[in-house]
Structure 1
Amino acid sequence: MKKTVPLLLAMFSAVLFSCGRKNDPTPSRDGDATWKLGANTYVRGASSRTSTPAPADGVITGIAVTTSGDGGNYGAFSGSTVTITFYNHGEGQYTLGTTEMSVANPTRNIIVIDCTIGTAVSTGAVLYGYSAAGTATVTKDKDGQYHVSLPATTLTKKVEVGGGIPGAKATYELTLTNVY
């Protein structure tokens, strides 16, 4: 339980800061951040990053990225947020996993990636998370910001909020391109 608390704090901090912050004033010079869940492509509107020391386990980095405005104008699927947490071992390849896997193995390159859809509407939302193994690439730009890319990897429906989204599938493929 002691190891879970810092990781959960980093995750919740990233989500909280992303919800109350406007677009970063300095856009990335490394291209736009996009992600695709199923057939819908979402574009970064705002993001927040935090790195928190974890007692005896290094540093935990959390990134939350969200759409803005109509969130792609996909009806009930409009708006999306991606949350990413990992024990920060620098740039490189990270294996997709769960929070429990990450906490149990703080010295390994495990990354937790979740994607919520329906965040730009008030009719319901769905959180998708780890389903199958995948490998994400973590890079760092010249300003010191971490960027994450993930080839198409299957995520599974984890939580429905406000009744969820009618017609939302149990699984979708998620692809991240330069998310930061």
Structure 2
Amino acid sequence: MKRSVAFMALLSFSTILLSCGGKKDNPKPEPPATESSWKLGNYTYARGASSQTVTSDLAGMTVTTSGDGGNHGVYSGSALTLVFKASLGAGTYALTTSTIMSANPTVRYMTLLCTVGTAVTTGAVNYSATETSGGTAEVTVDSNGKYHVNINTPVTLVKTLVTGGGIPGAPATYTLTVKNAY
């Protein structure tokens, strides 16, 4: 329970940082957003902004689109939220739930949430990795200490939450790939 509260606090803090902006301490220029993208089903989203938070135990990353969010109608706009054990460093992480990740502190597990419909006012849908999603994410750390995540083989995410009316007809599952989320 304590780890679940810490996980939720980390996600909330990441969202606040992303929403409020902040000072960039990165002396090297970041790659263009087109070098960072994700594909949910047939919809491709380009990174517009991101934030990373690292506590003594967890690393959290939120990556969002900007502007029209890909101009995909009710699917316009998306955000990825990734959380994993910072102490385990770079490597291959199995995608799962926060409960399983918290119960196995020495195993490279990652939780993943993909929200679609963030650039419209009609509603959004969250898709998450589950304990049966399978799939892995490759985590690297650049020279500035920033985490980068890639998911090259499609992983199946499950619809877990509908907000603001959601997206009518949104499927129960979607596949996801990620190219250089940071």
TM, length-normalised to structure 2: 0.90
Residue equivalent to 1:40: 43
Alignment gaps of 5+ in structure 2: none
CA RMSD of aligned residues (A): 1.9
**Partner amino acid for 2:169?**
G
Q: Cα distance, 1:28 vs. partner?
A: 3.0
Distance 1:3 1:33, change over 3 A: same
Structure 1 residues 69-148: aligned runs within 5 Å: 69-88=67-86, 89-131=88-130, 132-148=133-149
SS in 2 for 1:102: helix
Structure 1 residues 142-157: aligned runs within 5 Å: 142-150=143-151, 151-157=153-159
Distance 1:30 1:67, change over 3 A: closer
Q: Cα distance, 1:141 vs. partner?
A: 1.1
Residue equivalent to 1:12: 12
Distance 1:165 1:29, change over 3 A: closer
Asked if the contact 2:33–2:47 (Cα under 8 Å) also holds between the matched residues in 1, the reply is no
Q: Cα distance, 1:177 vs. partner?
A: 0.7
Whole-Å separation in 2 of the counterparts to 1:19 and 1:157: 24
Larger mean Cα displacement after TM superposition, 162-171 or 15-24 = 15-24
Q: How many residues align?
A: 175
Distance 1:79 1:29, change over 3 A: closer
Distance 1:29 1:69, change over 3 A: closer
Q: Cα distance, 1:16 vs. partner?
A: 2.1
SS in 1 for 2:118: coil
Q: Cα distance, 1:31 vs. partner?
A: 7.2
Residue equivalent to 2:60: 62
Residue equivalent to 2:170: 168
